[in-house]
Structure 1
C-alpha cells in the first residue's frame, strides 16, 4: 500500500511509481493511520469493480501539502480523519448538509464542471455510518421497539459524538439524547454546537448516578470513547453512570464505535452481559466507507461489493485477533 509522508518539510513518496501506474488515486489524510482499515476497504471496492484505483495514506496535518496534492488530475477524493476534519472545511468549495450541520468533514470529493473547473466538496459520511449500523443490524420490524421514539445515549464528547447526535436525531427517531462524558466542558460544547446548528433539542447531560437512576432507559447507545479502563475519578463516574443506564430493565442496541486495536471492547462486553445487542464499530466503518465510494465512483450502494467488503474486514479482524 502506497504511503505519503512529510519529513522535515520535504515531500517523500514511498512507492511513488504507484501513482503513475494508477488510473486514479485518493488519500487517507490524517495522523496515526497505521491501523486504519480504510485503504483496505476501498481496495476491495476497486478490485471488485475492476478499477485501477488506490487510496494512499497521507500521514500528515500539513494542509498546504494536501491542498497541493489534490490538484493532481488523477485525484478522485480523500478520507479525512483527525486532526484535519474541521481545518479542511474553509478550503472547500461546497459542503453537503450533513457536513455543514455537523461541522466536520470526513470525505472530500470532486465535482467537475462543464467549463473544466474542478470543485472540491466536503461530506460527512460518519453520520451515515451510525445510521446504517442500526438500520442494517436491527430488523426493520424490531426498530420501533428497540430504539425508535425512545431516549438515546451518547458516550463521549468529541467529533464522533456530534455525528452520533445528528444521526440519532435526524434518522433514528430518538426523543431525548443523554450525554455521558468525563469532561463537562466537552458536553457543554456539544450541546452548544448542536443547538446552534438546529439539532440540539432534548440533549441532556447526565452527570450523576442519582440522575441516571431516575431516567427512562435508552434504546440506542452510541459509544464514542477509546477502549481503556477508567482511571481518573471523572472517568470512573462516567462508567458508573453508563452502567446504571445499561442495567435498565428495557434493553436496546449499542453501537461501539471503537474498533482499534480491536472492536471487542470492555464496554461492549459490559453491555452484552446486561442483555444489549452490541453492534461492532467496524459496521460504522463499512457503511461510512460505502457512502464515500458512492461519491467517488458514482455507483449506488446496490452496485458496490458489500459482501466482499464485509469478508475483507472480517479477515483483517481475524488477523489482528491472532496477533
Structure 2
C-alpha cells in the first residue's frame, strides 16, 4: 500500500449527519500524535451528499471518513471503488490519491475484529437495519455462510439487502428468539438522541444469544443492558469503531496502526465512561 502521509495535504475530514457525538476526530488525533503526523480531522456536518462532495472537491482532503447517511449514496460520486467496497455496496473511507477519490470499506475490518470469535452453530443472524452500516454486516455473515434474517423499518431497504446478500425478511414480532444466535444492531437506535431506546424488548433475549451493537456511544446501550440482564453475551460497538478507524489511518498513512489498538480502545473507553462518573 502506497503511503500518502508525506504529501502536502495534511487536512482530513469526516462527512455525515449528525456528527456532534462522533469520536472519529478524537481517535484519529490520538493515532496521529503517536506517529508524529501533522494532520487533523475536520467535521463536515452535511445532510446533502452533493453539498458534502462539493466541500470535499473544493479542499484537497487526504482522507475522508464517511458516516450516516452517506455510506451508500457516496459510491456514485467517487472516481474509483475498491473491490470489497463495491461488493458490500457501501463506503466509509475515501482516500485522495492525487485528486483521484477512491472509496474503501473498513467497517468490514471492524466487524471481523469485533466478531472474530463468534460461534453460533446452526443459529441465524438477526440483522437490525438495512442501510450503509448493515451492508458490511450482511457481507460478513454471507462470507461466514450464516443465515441472515433482516428486520428493517423500510421494507424496500430490507428487500434490497436480502436480494444482494441472501437471507429472509422478518418483523421482530415474527421472530422466534430460539432460532437466533447472533443479533447485530446496525440502526442508530440507542445513539443520541435515541439513547434511551432499544430496538428489541427485554423479553426477546436468551442466554445463548450474542448481541453486537454498532452504536459505541454510550458505551453500553439500552440494548446491551437488556441483553446482559438476560445472561446473553454483549459486544460493544467500540471494538468495531476503533478497528475500522485504525484501518482508515493505515490505508492513508501506510503505518501499522493496529499496534495501537489496545491503547486507542482504552483511551476512548475512559472518555465514554467519564460522564457516568460525574
TM-score category (smaller protein) = 0.7 to 0.9
Give the C-alpha shift of residue 36 in structure 1: 0.4
Instruction: Pick closer, same or farther for the CA change 1:94–1:182 going to 2, 3 Å.
Output: closer
1:205 aligns with 2:163: no
Give the C-alpha shift of residue 285 in structure 1: 0.8
Equivalent residue for 1:184, pick from 155, 158, 161? 155
Taking the TM superposition and a 5 Å limit, the aligned residue runs for 1:209-288 are 209=173, 211-213=174-176, 217-225=179-187, 226-227=189-190, 228=194, 239=200, 243-244=203-204, 246-247=205-206, 251-260=208-217, 262-288=218-244
Task: Structure 1 unaligned segments of length 5 or more: list them.
Answer: 1-21, 113-117, 195-199
Instruction: Pick closer, same or farther for the CA change 1:243–1:224 going to 2, 3 Å.
Output: farther
Q: How many residues align?
A: 262
CA contact (8 A) 2:72 2:132 kept: no
Larger Rg: 1
1:319 aligns with 2:274: yes
Instruction: Pick closer, same or farther for the CA change 1:181–1:23 going to 2, 3 Å.
Output: closer
TM-score in terms of structure 2 length: 0.83
Give the C-alpha shift of residue 216 in structure 1: 5.4
1:153 aligns with 2:126: yes
CA RMSD of aligned residues (A): 2.5
1: CA distance between counterparts of 2:93 and 2:43?
14
Instruction: Pick closer, same or farther for the CA change 1:312–1:23 going to 2, 3 Å.
Output: farther
Instruction: Pick closer, same or farther for the CA change 1:263–1:318 going to 2, 3 Å.
Output: closer
Give the C-alpha shift of residue 54 in structure 1: 1.1
2: CA distance between counterparts of 1:83 and 1:176?
26
Give the C-alpha shift of residue 129 in structure 1: 1.5
1:298 aligns with 2:254: yes
Task: Structure 2 unaligned segments of length 5 or more: list them.
Answer: 1-7
Instruction: Pick closer, same or farther for the CA change 1:51–1:149 going to 2, 3 Å.
Output: farther
Q: Segments of 4+ in structure 1 off by > 4 A?
A: none
- Show the counterpart of 1:168: 141
- Show the counterpart of 1:66: 56
Other structure's SS at 1:88 match: helix
TM-score in terms of structure 1 length: 0.73
